[in-house]
Structure 1
């Protein structure tokens, strides 16, 4: 039989098709990994922002701002309750030229330790604000 009358695929054609299919599947898996990782990091950032907001509201609603002090909260969850992966560090500073009873500068740092969605070492959520107490 002449070669031109044979039907079907050669081994080379099948192998090339399999390589193309494998590259496509690996690309989709890689994209999926990055999408899931990005969503997880976004969720962690949202939890850090919510936790920072809760702690700052407590500090800003203090009546006597001259009584505010530094605080370290280790191992809290996104609501501030014990038993979570977050560390919150609050630093209260007197502002030069302003009476301590009038206003204080609050620097709040929230970090997540380990687990899925942990941000790279050295990166953290840092918020700096001023308070005069009474929710202001």
Structure 2
């Protein structure tokens, strides 16, 4: 199976499909959050951390964790802006926005990406006894992401 996935990813068709999240991809929610945070920060990728500080019951800071830069994408600003524009349209385009019904009147500007984790064969739906999972990842406010 690993060899087949490598072969599929190396074909021109799979390279094009993988650019929009199609194909044999496996991502955790944390990996998705890290990729969107990297886009939101202008291309700076930070080490994933879920704790920013530890405090005592009285509020004294016992330990503080500073953000650690892991990598910086070498990507033109206009490319990042095009990605953010596309993520905004996911939420605001009545004709193509896959999250339009949820975010079309949202009070802040949000960029998002929808996805579907499904099975490679119809038989797997029967074996697993469930349909595909839908997922959504976002950043907000889009002009200066904080979440």
What's the TM-score, normalizing by structure 1? Answer: 0.30
Structure showing greater radius of gyration is 1
Structure number with higher strand proportion = 1
When the two structures are superposed, what TM-score results if normalisation uses the length of structure 2?
0.29
Q: Flag the structure with more relative contact order, 1 or 2, with Cα contacts below 8 A and sequence separation at least 6.
A: 1
